[in-house]
């Protein structure tokens, strides 16, 4: 049952988190946090997302703030380092923020860059971390993905290539033509049927994110219907959203790969700290620090923008897809 919207808005804290490097084209990450009776929740749909898509993120935040915690089967989650599309020379300084990580996810196919930039970045990561995966965010055509797979594996293996192309059919084509595992992300979290990519045998790994899928319970329901390995990843969440991702990963009966939940290292400041230990993060509830909430509070006009967004998305939570 949904809380009254006025109560929800009274519990809302909008924060602006400065980033160390540009990621997804932004240098400041805005999120709205909900101080609920069950704990804290996060509504952080990226600002360009339209209400129908953003509503799933609001459902996720409400679940964390008002719902019961799912039972977990592990106390810590191995995480990958996340390397934005930085020049190769900056890779060592980025990796320093992920102590103990033995897997790294490297962003590739960045607009304005070329394949040689990706190869240099990946090789710089390989010099420090043994297991490397790359994420193209659907930025290649099939032929470009095939060429990239060859170039990026010339000097070492890849664990997988995440979302090399946009469509399920293209993922299946790439998977048939390269000797590298293919992971699906956008083809799950942005799809009207998040299981379509699995049913089409178009991926070897399913990357799932709590907020876009509507919450921990929704993610676990989807994961239960997937017969390939699952990786729980962040949607550039604050510590509050990361905690929800950790709970989801901790509740999975099977977890074969490091999860993409270490993106807090990309922020200059966060609302709370979750400290990595030996390449993993503990499964904990997060209580944002009042002083940090105050220091990171978004300007009044941005708070008003998020309040208006909640008002727009809230009625959409009555949709059968979100219930």
pLDDT tens digits, 278-312:
999 999 999 999 999 999 999 999 999 999 999 99
What pLDDT sits at residue 22?
Answer: 85
Binding residues: 135, 162, 185
The CA distance from 229 to 206, in Å, is: 6
User: Distance between CA 83 and CA 131 in Å, rounded?
Assistant: 13
Do the first three CATH levels of 5-69+290-317 and 76-282 match, i.e. the same topology? Answer: no
For residue 142 the two structure tokens come to 């099939």
> Which of these, 239, 197, 205, 215, lies nearest to 105 by C-alpha position?
205
Say which of 126, 209, 303, 309 is annotated catalytic: 209
State the CATH class of domain 5-69+290-317.
Answer: alpha beta
Evaluate whether 2 touches 317 at the Cβ level (below 8 Å). Answer: yes
Q: What is the pLDDT of residue 17?
A: 98
Q: What angle do CA 257, 260, 261 make, to 5 degrees?
A: 120
Q: List the alpha helices (DSSP H) in 179-318.
A: 186-189, 196-199, 210-213, 216-223, 239-251, 290-295, 300-313
- Annotation marks residue 209 as catalytic: yes
Reported pTM? 0.94
Q: Indicate the domain borders of the chain.
A: 5-69+290-317, 76-282
Q: In the prediction, which pLDDT does 25 show? A: 85
Taking 70 as the pLDDT cut, the residues of the chain under it are: 320-323
User: Environment class of residue 120 by beta-carbon count within 10 Å: exposed (0-12), middle (13-18) or buried (19+)?
Assistant: middle
Per-residue pLDDT at 1: 83
> Catalytic pick from 13, 107, 133, 309?
107
Note the helical H segments in 33-84.
51-66
Annotated binding residues for Mg(2+), as ranges?
135, 162, 185
**Which residues, in sequence order, are bridge partners of residue 135?**
107, 162
> Cα separation of 22 and 307, whole Å?
26
CA dist 32 to 23, 25, 170, 200, Å? 19, 20, 35, 36
- Using alpha carbons only, give the angle 32, 38, 44 rounded to the nearest 5 degrees: 20
Domain 76-282, what fold?
A: TIM Barrel (3.20.20)
């Amino acid at each position: 049952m949904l809380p009254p919207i006025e109560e929800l808005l009274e519990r809302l804290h909008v924060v602006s988190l400065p980033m160390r490097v540009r990621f997804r084209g932004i240098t400041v990450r805005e999120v709205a946090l909900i101080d609920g009776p069950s704990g804290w929740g996060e509504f952080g749909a990226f600002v360009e997302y339209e209400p129908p898509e953003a509503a799933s993120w609001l459902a996720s935040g409400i679940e964390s703030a008002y719902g019961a915690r799912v039972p977990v089967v592990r106390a810590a989650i191995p995480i990958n380092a996340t390397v934005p599309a930085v020049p190769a020379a900056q890779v060592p300084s980025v990796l320093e923020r992920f102590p103990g990580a033995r897997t790294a996810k490297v962003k590739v196919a960045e607009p304005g860059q070329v394949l040689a930039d990706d190869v240099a970045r990946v090789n710089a990561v390989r010099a420090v971390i043994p297991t490397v995966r790359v994420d193209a965010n659907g930025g290649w055509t099939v032929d470009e993905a095939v060429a990239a797979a060859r170039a990026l594996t010339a000097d070492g293996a890849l664990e997988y290539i995440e979302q090399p192309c946009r469509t399920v059919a293209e993922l299946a084509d790439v998977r048939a033509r390269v000797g590298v595992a293919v992971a699906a992300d956008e083809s799950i979290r942005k799809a009207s049927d998040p299981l379509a990519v699995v049913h089409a045998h178009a991926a070897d790994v399913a990357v799932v994110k709590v907020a876009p899928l509507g919450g921990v319970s929704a993610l676990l329901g989807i994961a239960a219907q997937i017969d390939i390995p699952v990786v729980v990843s962040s949607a550039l969440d604050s510590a509050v959203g990361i905690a929800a991702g950790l709970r989801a990963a901790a509740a999975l009966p099977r977890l074969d790969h490091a999860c993409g939940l270490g993106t807090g290292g990309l922020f200059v400041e966060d609302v709370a700290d979750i400290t990595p230990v030996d390449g993993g993060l503990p499964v904990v509830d997060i209580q944002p620090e009042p002083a940090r909430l105050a220091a990171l509070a978004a300007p009044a006009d941005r708070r008003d923008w998020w309040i208006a967004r909640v008002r727009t998305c809230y009625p959409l939570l009555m949709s059968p897809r979100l219930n």
